[in-house]
Chains A and B, each alone.
Chain A
Amino acid sequence: MTTNHRRTLANRCNALKSTGPRSVAGKWVSSQNSRKHGLNSAPDFESSLEYQALVDLIAEEGFSAFVCADIAAGLLNYRRVMDAYYDTYTSPEPVNEFMRDMSVKGSMPIFREMLSASGSEPDDVRDMAAFFAGMQRQERRKGGPVSRRTTDTHKLIRYQRNGIARLSRAVRQD
């Protein structure tokens, strides 16, 4: 067996062990990986009906065909950013009120009861409480709905800056 093959086999065996996050916290983190606004993907305005109609309307104002195409794409791109801005503003990450308001200290007897069935050590109860306390800290740090929507919308500033710069450049290039 060659070294290369051995290495590949070893890699595959190790990969079998990696079946994604196992802890609750890890699963929660990975569940947030797909949260996107879609503004990083390259848009295809040219094939849309709106684009052609917009180009025709702008052409009536005496712009060259090249500039018309640029302005139409710039305008649609800016709208795309502002629509995402609105969506982000109106649907912030929901507040997990249970996690935020729960009393970790008060929940210790429940943890103890839950874990005693599986014959756990007192350390396990402490670990569980520490885990929940960490989650609670994280939840509280994010603040209420207004803080959350502010944080989320703030992330879109650079897209808005690029969008308006592109539109403005297109309009003033003649």
Chain B
Amino acid sequence: MPVDHKVSSFLPFLSSPKLLPNESGAEFESGLQSLLSELDNPSPLAVALISQLNECLWWIKRHTVDKELLLHEAMARLLSKAGSYSETYDNRKVSEVLERYLNGRADKDEAAWIDEILSESKLTLSDLRIRAFKDAARHIKMVDDLIHRQHQTIRHLQRSIDSIDYKSRLIKRMDLELAALESKQPVKGALTLDDKPS
């Protein structure tokens, strides 16, 4: 059975990949295909497990991005607290502008605004990042736990795939041995009949 057909026969049971709006389905698929290509003629169950493994790798990617986003969130929070530009907390505005500023997409006014808040609070961008790291440490630790969990899951899946692979090889070997024995059987029988003294 070709690999694609095996995947499609399993997909209805395993849910099609759920991607976020900004994620590429093609990238997800190419990851899956490259994992599948590492196995010689994988069984349907191995394909199912490999698709789970691919999803784990995808989750690791997502959580790694989250670590950076957590830092940005904390930076925005600190800037909001530090700035005397407004009486209210107004985190969303700072957060959006800071995101553009860090990605280099902020316009002149926005960049000047962030620079002004930074100088008001007597901070450089790297100072702010260090403080933000301290502030978001609890959540960053949680993301690390989530990534670690995905690694553990991958290890479990790899062991399961190895076990299936070994089992199928064992069955193939036993089949071959059985076939060899069966092919020898009539010859043996003929010899024993011939050897009988008349």
Contact = CB atoms under 8 A, between A and B. Distances in A.
Interface in B37-77: 43-45, 48-49, 52, 55, 59, 62, 66, 69-70, 73-74, 76-77
24 contacts: A61-B45, A75-B48, A79-B13, A82-B52, A85-B59, A90-B20, A97-B91, A97-B92, A101-B90, A101-B92, A103-B88, A140-B89, A144-B77, A144-B91, A144-B95, A147-B70, A147-B73, A150-B66, A150-B139, A160-B149, A160-B153, A164-B157, A167-B156, A167-B160
A157 B149 contact: yes
B70 A146 contact: yes
B178 interface: no
Interface residues of B, number: 49
Contacts of A153: 146
B173 interface: no
Tell me the dominant secondary structure on chain A's binding face.
helix
Contacts of A58: 44-45
Interface of A: 50, 53-54, 57-58, 60-62, 71, 75-76, 78-79, 82-83, 85-86, 89-90, 97, 100-103, 106, 140, 143-147, 149-151, 153-154, 157, 160-161, 164-165, 167-168, 171-172, 174
Interface in B149-184: 149, 152-153, 156-157, 159-160, 163-164, 167-168, 171
B32 to A, nearest CB: 15
